[in-house]
Structure 1
């Protein structure tokens, strides 16, 4: 067996490996580049240089847990349609709440650059 030449996996590779639309949505939400980048004041305290790569590698294993995906469909997204930003926020919140290494201390806080 030889090593995948695209290691660590890129976002397109992770999206290709998804087996359901919900998995694709979650991988896209978590694996997409950060909107704030590293320009936000104080962000370096929270995000190390390898944070996003580590999250992407972790997501590759974590997303395929057969017990999580159906629960996410029902608990997080429900049956009603929602606006894209709300859907994105719910997916990210679910990922943080379900991840064994992280603790959510606050949610639904407005973040503004420079404040």
Structure 2
């Protein structure tokens, strides 16, 4: 059976781990096996999705697909690396996308 692909994307400052956990849990319990696809950022929504997989993945038959951005392909900072990485993840296909946008600052 082909794994259900869940793309998790969002702000590197996303503060609500409980929200990420609840949304992934709901999506996974509907479809297993599953793969959680994320951008491998060490903070925010990506990190929370990765943590969910570490805590529950093996038990539930869920794997992780990491897509880190290549910030310095030629030694110089590439500020568009995250946008390119996100486009690549979308192009690979997903059955569901869960997005956590940056919160507006006053």
The TM-score normalised by the length of structure 2 is 0.29
Greater Rg by CA: 1
Normalising by structure 1, we get a TM-score of: 0.28
Q: Higher helix fraction: Structure 1 or Structure 2?
A: 1
Q: Which has the higher contact order (CA 8 A, sep 6+)?
A: 2
